[in-house]
Structure 1
Amino acid sequence: MTALSGRDARLIHDLAKAILTEPRPVHVWPLLMERLTTDLPVDLAVLIDVDWKSGTGHALTGKPDWLHKAPLDSLIDAHMRAHPLLRHYAHTADRTPLALDEMADDRWWKSEAYHAGKTAIGIDRQLVLPLSSRAGQVRGVIMSRGGHGFTDRDLEYAGLARSLLDTVSAHETVTLGIPRLGDPEEYGITSREMAVLALLNEGLTARAIAKKLHIAEKTVIKHKENLYRKLRVHDRVAVLNKSRALGLLPQNHPHGEG
Structure 2
Amino acid sequence: MPDNARHTARLYRRMHDLAVTVLHERDPSALHGLVLAELLRACDAEVVVFKEGDWRMDAGPMTIATGGGAATALTDERACRQIRTGRPFSDYYATTPGTVPLTAQEIGRALDLRDVRRFAPGRRFAFGIPLPGTHSPVRGYVLLRPDGAFTASDCAYGTRIQPLLHAVDRQWELLSQWHAMRQAPSSSGEVTKEQAPSADAGLTPREAAVLLLLADALTAAAIGRRLGITTRTANKHIERIYRKLGTRDRVSTLNRARIGGLLPY
TM-score, with structure 2 as normaliser: 0.80
Residue 208 of structure 1, CA deviation: 1.3
Instruction: Please list every run of 5 or more consecutive structure 2 residues that lacks an aligned counterpart in the other structure.
Output: 183-194
Contact conserved, 1:45 with 1:142, CA < 8 A, in 2? yes
Equivalent residue for 2:19, pick from 13, 16, 19: 16
Percent identical among aligned pairs is 29
1:121 corresponds in structure 2 to: 120
Determine the structure 2 residue equivalent to 1:96.
100
Match of 2:222 among 204, 208, 233: 208
Counterpart Cα distance in 1 of 2:98 and 2:77? 24
Distance 2:136 2:45 in 1: 28
Task: Tell me which residue corresponds to 1:42.
Answer: 45
Shift of 1:18: 2.8
Question: Residue 244 of structure 1: CA displacement?
Answer: 0.9
1:192 equivalent in alignment to 2:194: no
Partner residue, 1:27 = 30
Q: Which position in structure 2 is the counterpart of 1:255?
A: none
Matches within 5 A, 1:67-78: 68=72, 72-78=76-82
What is the RMSD of the two structures over their aligned residues, measured on CA atoms? 2.8
Structure 1: which 5+ runs fail to align?
252-258
Tell me the secondary structure at the aligned position of residue 3 of structure 1.
helix
Q: How has the CA–CA distance of structure 1 residues 229 and 139 changed in structure 2, closer, same or farther, with 3 Å as cutoff?
A: same
Change in 2 beyond 3 A, CA 1:75/1:54 = same
Superposition deviation, residue 174 in structure 1: 3.3
Partners of 2:54 and 2:27 lie apart in 1 by 27
Kept in 1, the 8 Å contact 2:131–2:140? The answer is yes
Shift of 1:149: 1.0
What is the CA deviation profile of residues 201-251 of structure 1, one whole-angstrom value per residue up to 9, with x for unaligned ones?
Answer: 222210111122222211211111221222233332232121111100112
Alpha-carbon distance in 2 for matches of 1:185, 1:128? 40
Answer 1 or 2: which has greater helix percent.
1
Equivalences for residues 204-243 of structure 1 within 5 A: 204-243=218-257
Measure the CA separation in 1 of the matches of 2:55 and 2:262. Answer: 35
Judge which range, 130-139 or 242-251, deviates more: 130-139
Kept in 1, the 8 Å contact 2:125–2:145? The answer is yes
Question: Could you tell me which residue of structure 2 aligns to residue 158 of structure 1?
Answer: 158
Matched with 2:91 is: 87
Task: Write the letter of the residue equivalent to 1:234.
Answer: R
Change (3 A) 1:154 1:144: same
TM-score (norm 1): 0.82
Q: Which residue of 1 aligns with 2:185?
A: none
Q: Out of 183-192 and 236-245, give the one that drifted further.
A: 183-192
Q: Residue 67 of structure 1: CA displacement?
A: 7.0
CA–CA distance in structure 2, aligned partners of residues 44 and 78 of structure 1 = 16
Query: What displacement does 1:137 show?
Result: 2.4
Paired AA for residue 60 in structure 1: T
* Cα pair 1:131 1:162 within 8 Å, conserved: yes
